[in-house]
Structure 1
Amino acid sequence: MDKFKVVLDIANKQSNLGFGLVALLTAGGEQIFSSVVFKCPCNDMNFIYGLVFLLVPALALLLLGYILSKKMWKLLTGLCQRRREPRRIATTVVVLLQISAGAVVAPSSWMAVALLNGNYYVCAMTGTNVSAYNKHVCGDVSVRAKCEAELYRLPCGKVNEVPADARDDVMLTLRAHSQILGWLLISSIMVFNLLLTCVARCRSPISYLQLKFWRVYAEEEANLMNQYTTKHAKELAERNLKSFFSQKEPEDIVTPPNEAWESVSSLYRFSTRDHYYSTLHRYVENCQHTETDLVRMSSVDSRGPSGQPAILNFVDGGTMPV
């Protein structure tokens, strides 16, 4: 029950419900992983084994956070083909920081719960070869030499020459160190998150209610974009299959050109001069198609020099994780 309360506390400290859910699942997974998979070897591999279980899953979760971030791929897609202007580079760095702020939720939750639990830290620190630290941990002068010699075996309780009371004191000391580091990590993350949020809100060009409306609009636009793209792709695929099997001229279906897709695919930064809420909103408000544009946009006339449909070859037949 106490461990479950710790998981809930970390989840509740997240300012976003999605981040809280990620933290909750990660922390719960760590508890299961620690009790089922982790077994301290109690030999000279203690230090490496404990650090691997503490840090490597956190690194994997961090990389997974980047991989599953749609904003990450929206930013990087075609980035190498664009001009490297100083302003664009600065914007890219800011967006990467925003993505990183979301990506560190899962790894920080893993490390925080792992440190509060203490198993990984205790196993790792009983395998250190730093004599000063070992003397500090063992503490009692009467059994210090025996404790230092058999320190790596303490997590398994296989030490006969060290009294049980002395062993318990060492284990409590190491667990206390781990929990102190865990709470320091949680408090540091929360302070950093608070400062970052305060700075972002302080520099916001719009009011609180307008910012709330912007978020609702962005979510609705993303949901409708998925529905419209699925529907349009299905209609285009059906048109092409009917034309292929019946060997007839295909019907006209208007599809946005590459320039339009590029315009609405970039990340958008709100400007008080325009009052647009997305790149799609800005494109629709400013785009006035002439009759020539509509002809050029139709899929029948969207053909390359060789007469083949102008498609994205790297998408055709490929898969994307996000």
Structure 2
Amino acid sequence: MSRFLSSFQKTIADVKGSIINSAIVAGTVAFEELLNHAVYYCPCIEPSELVGPCNSSTSNSRYSRYECTPSLNIVYGVVFLAIPALVLFILSVAAHPSIWKICTGRSRTVRAKKDKTCTTCLGVIARSLIAPMSWVSYGFLDGKYFACCMTPTPYHISSLTNYKTCQDVAQLSSPAYSDAYRDNRSLSQIIGWILLGIIATLSLCLYAVSRCCHPLTYYHAKYYDLYRMHEENEFDDEMNKKAQLHAEENVKKFMSKHRTKALWDRISTIFEFHRNRDEIALYSYLHEFILEEEKEPGNRSNSIATNASGMTMDTVM
């Protein structure tokens, strides 16, 4: 049993990246399906509202001229394909810590290393394209958005039914779509499969090139990734423990004496990060006040004893 569990854990660790990517794709597809059922509604237009050659019986086919398609339909389809993909891309980029390590509080000399910065940004962008490309590919495979864009009258209105207007047909749980809409939806599915094949091929090629350019061998690179992951986790755990201990000490010191209203007002105002004259990072006005109080002649000996025991982070952080 232990061997089975060990083998299972090793397998999960080996395919962890693939599992995460698959989860992103599955979540994107599920969200798109939910959006289709909840808010999708291709705009209506009556055939009589199409003027000129667009009002002919042949204009509502896949061979229609693009100018016959109402602008609202075009905007609606493009927005449903492009805007969610853009939002997913932005969220994916923002979720990568590497971007914030580059942007947050770095000196000009560090920012000058453009080669490392560009490489990191390209890697983050490549990984962040998984969700938006999944959205666009599945949108074409579903076909509703493209068909809505390209079809002048997407709904089939028959005088033999009880539904006389486009709005009546569109509000049905299963709307009756026109032949042109179904043709354009089939065309969208063809585009979707082609796009999916191109994305898969390019992804494999780019991944292969990135692995070939990697300075480490397979197992060395694997160890490198594992070490970075565990170091990050350990660092987060230690920072959490140290920060909690540091905050508890400062609060206890403040609450151990009677404080005036002026001091309560001071620690209650909005804080902006800064350093004191000794270049010690200050994390709050409470932290700043405790450091000032410890510098007073009567409290200096206690402060030295506390720092010697390693219980504060003032000299470290």
TM-score range, shorter chain: 0.5 to 0.7
Q: Using a 3 Å threshold, how does the CA distance of structure 1 residues 309 and 89 change in structure 2: closer, same or farther? A: closer
1:168-225 deviation line (CA, Å, top 9, x unaligned): 6533431222112212221222122111111111112211111111222222112212
Q: Distance in 2 between matches of 1:82 and 1:309?
A: 21
Q: Give the counterpart letter for 1:53 in structure 2.
A: F
**Equivalent residue letter for 1:104:** L
Corresponding position: 1:212 with 2:212:
no
Q: Among residues 221, 224, 230, which one is paired with 2:231 in the alignment? A: 221
One of 36, 46, 68 as aligned partner of 2:38: 36
Q: Which residue identity does 1:22 align to in structure 2? A: I
- Separation in structure 2 between the aligned mates of residue 58 and residue 66 of structure 1, nearest angstrom: 12
Q: Match of 2:157?
A: 158
1:246-289, Cα deviation, whole Å (9 max, x unpaired): 259xxxxxxxxxxxxxxxxxxxxxxxxxxxxxxxxxxxxxxxxx
Q: Deviations over 1:75-98 (max 9, x none)?
A: 21134x423776x11221111110
Q: Report the AA paired with residue 25 of structure 2.
A: A
Asked if structure 1 preserves the Cα contact closer than 8 Å seen for 2:155 and 2:178, the reply is no
CA contact under 8 A between 2:156 and 2:178: conserved in structure 1? no
1:240 corresponds in structure 2 to 250
Instruction: Give per-residue Cα distances to partners, 1:40-72, cap 9 Å, x unaligned.
Output: 012331111111111111111111111222111
* Alignment partner, residue 114 of structure 1: 139
- Aligned match of 1:199 in 209, 222, 225? 209
The yes-or-no answer on 1:53 pairing with 2:105 is no
Cα deviation per residue 1:3-35 (whole Å; 9 max; x = unaligned)?
A: xxxxxxxxxxx9622121111101111012112
Structure 1 residue identity aligned to 2:244: K
Percent sequence identity over aligned pairs: 31
**Residue 41 of structure 2 aligns to a residue in which SS?**
coil
State the partner residue of 2:281: 310
CA distance in 1, matches of 2:283, 2:204: 42
Letter in 1 for 2:91: L
Which residue of the partner structure matches residue 175 of structure 1?
185
Aligned positions, number: 214
Distance 2:188 2:227 in 1: 44
Matches within 5 A, 1:54-203: 54-79=81-106, 81-83=107-109, 88-126=113-151, 152-153=152-153, 155-158=154-157, 169-203=179-213
Tell me which residue corresponds to 2:65: none
- Tell me if the contact between 1:69 and 1:99 (Cα under 8 Å) persists in the aligned partners: yes
Q: CA deviation at 1:309?
A: 5.1
Conserved? CA contact 2:139–2:145, under 8 Å: yes
Q: Which runs of 4+ in 1 moved over 4 A?
A: none
Please give the TM-score of this superposition, normalised by the length of structure 1. Answer: 0.60
| Structure 1 residues 85 and 120: alpha-carbon distance in aligned structure 2, compared to 1, 3 A threshold | closer
Distance 1:171 1:195 in 2: 36
Unaligned 5+ segments in structure 2 are 1-15, 46-69, 161-176, 259-274, 288-317
What is the CA–CA distance in structure 2 between the aligned matches of 1:108 and 1:65, rounded to whole Å? 12
Residues of 1 paired with 2:123 and 2:33: CA distance? 28
Using the TM superposition, give the Cα deviation of residue 36 of structure 1 relative to its aligned residue in structure 2, in angstroms: 2.3
Letter in 2 for 1:82: R
Change (3 A) 1:308 1:198: closer
Partner of 2:26: 24
CA contact (8 A) 1:40 1:156 kept: no
Q: Do the aligned partners of residues 160 and 73 (structure 1) sit closer, same or farther apart at CA in structure 2, a change above 3 Å counting?
A: farther
- For normalisation by structure 2, the TM-score amounts to 0.61
